[in-house]
Structure 1
Amino acid sequence: MSQKSPAPSGPAPSGGADRSALQADCANCFGLCCVALPFAASADFAVDKKAGQPCGNLREDFRCGIHARLREDGFPGCTVFDCFGAGQKVSLTTFGGQDWRQAPDTARQMFDVFPVMRQLHELLWYVTEALALAAARPLHGELREALENTERLTLADAATLADTDVPAAREEVNALLLRVSELARAGVPGRKKNRRGADLVGARLRGADLRGANLRGALLIAADLQGADLRGADLIGADFRDADLRGADLTGSIFLTQAQLNAAKGDAATVLPRDLARPAHW
């Protein structure tokens, strides 16, 4: 296992990022992730479900009937999904608190809008994080503009939202986030590995020095990252399903989400960014 140097842990934040409105609030959502999205019987879901079909575990109050035992009952896929607050935004703002059960004529449009809103809120999450990075100060003007433009899209009416060109919005914001990543990771000493989009499924990376690495979109499914040094790494879109992060150091890593951590395996020795929580199943 490689030794960690006393180098800086990664890009430092310039201040706390307020992302409270971008966190799922299931109490104020009409169970949209349990209805709008499809899933197939697999290791992640115990049964098949079509888009627009309510999950059999969804209760009348829009709560999950097996929430406390999702993994045990064969629904670990539900535990790693994050709507980034899109559920309550669609329920209370776009549709003004009118739920699909009481107003079934709104159901189809509501279910079409939800995945669009979810992607827009994910962009808001990343841009808000970028604005909290000290190294990204030269781009703060562009980031604020991107934040305002994306937020404006989320406030459109249902018909406009359904027709939103999400790929175009993502492409524009992603180009900006890549520049943020380069600025942030430039502050991490040493040569940085570029494994963007790499197929690292099952890779043996125990103790690897990945400080400041570009791991954007990398497939790290079931990878062995025990004790790996991921300080300051760009982890946006990296697939950590069943990746072993026991003892790994993720201090200062950027664009890491709670959903990514929930999909991985870790332990008490895994060092996390300060704004993310240790998953209950670790």
Structure 2
Amino acid sequence: MKPALILAALLSVATTAPALAQDPGQINRVRGGASCPGCNLFQADFSGLDRSGLNLAGARLRQADLSLASMNRTRFANADLRDVEAYGGVFSSANFTGANLTNASFVGTYLEGASFSGATLNGTNFSGASLARATGLTQARLNAACGDAATVLPRGLRIRAC
């Protein structure tokens, strides 16, 4: 077979095979209230979801919509939450330990008692978020994030304006 034909065949396969695409079955299980650690929930629409105590540790939730979701006590430890939209959500006592929250939007989100130990907060928007009782936040970690005058932080910490 000629090299040009081999290359064309490989490009055809590479462009038709979804790379790390979401798994609709896994998304539906989470919507139904099932835990799904390590699942591929890429770009899932969980807006308005009301589920507590889920285990989504290590899950890929990149670009997911968690707007107005209520996911208290949910475990997001070591999850990929880059570019997540969580506007107005309620994540009381959620575990974001080691999670990647790069460029995530938590505008107006309730995060009281949430754990952020080891979380990546580069570009994370906490404008109007309530984090007064959140744990694992350090000034160095918050220096990578942003917020506004309505952001409520644990005593002694501050956040730059978005």
Give the TM-score of the pair, scaled to structure 2. 0.54
Partner of 1:146: none
Partner of 1:208: helix, strand, or coil?
Answer: coil
What does the per-residue CA deviation read over 1:147-170, in whole Å, with 9 as the maximum and x for residues that have no partner?
Answer: xxxxxxxxxxxxxxxxxxxxxxxx
- Decide which structure has greater helix share: 1
Partner of 1:235: 116
1:196 aligns with 2:99: no
What residue identity is the alignment partner of 2:104? A
What does the per-residue CA deviation read over 1:75-102, in whole Å, with 9 as the maximum and x for residues that have no partner?
Answer: xxxxxxxxxxxxxxxxxxxxxxxxxxxx
Partner of 1:268: 149
**C-alpha distance in 2 between matches for 1:266 and 1:191:** 22
1:210 aligns with 2:85: no
Within a 5 Å distance, the mapping from 1:15-30 to structure 2 comes to none
Unaligned runs of 5+ in 2: 1-70
**C-alpha distance in 1 between matches for 2:141 and 2:132:** 15
Partner of 2:74: helix, strand, or coil?
Answer: coil
Residue of structure 1 aligned with 2:128, choices 231, 247, 263? 247
Partner of 1:263: helix, strand, or coil?
Answer: coil
CA RMSD of aligned residues (A): 1.5
Instruction: Please identify the structure whose Cα radius of gyration is greater.
Output: 1
**C-alpha distance in 1 between matches for 2:125 and 2:114:** 17
**C-alpha distance in 2 between matches for 1:268 and 1:191:** 25
State the Cα distance separating 1:278 from its structure 2 match. Answer: 3.5
State the Cα distance separating 1:191 from its structure 2 match. Answer: 4.4
What residue identity is the alignment partner of 1:223? A
What does the per-residue CA deviation read over 1:21-73, in whole Å, with 9 as the maximum and x for residues that have no partner?
Answer: xxxxxxxxxxxxxxxxxxxxxxxxxxxxxxxxxxxxxxxxxxxxxxxxxxxxx
**C-alpha distance in 2 between matches for 1:196 and 1:212:** 12
Partner of 1:260: helix, strand, or coil?
Answer: helix
State the Cα distance separating 1:277 from its structure 2 match. Answer: 2.4
Partner of 1:223: 104
**C-alpha distance in 2 between matches for 1:241 and 1:230:** 17
Percent of paired sites with the same residue: 40
**C-alpha distance in 2 between matches for 1:206 and 1:227:** 6
Bigger RCO (CA 8 Å, 6+ sep): 1
* Preserved CA contact (<8 Å) 2:98 2:118: yes
**C-alpha distance in 2 between matches for 1:200 and 1:277:** 23
Partner of 1:13: none
Within a 5 Å distance, the mapping from 1:1-282 to structure 2 comes to 191-279=72-160, 281-282=161-162
Number of corresponding residues: 92
The structure 1 segments of at least 4 consecutive aligned residues displaced by more than 4 Å after TM superposition are none
Give the TM-score of the pair, scaled to structure 1. 0.31
State the Cα distance separating 1:208 from its structure 2 match. Answer: 1.3
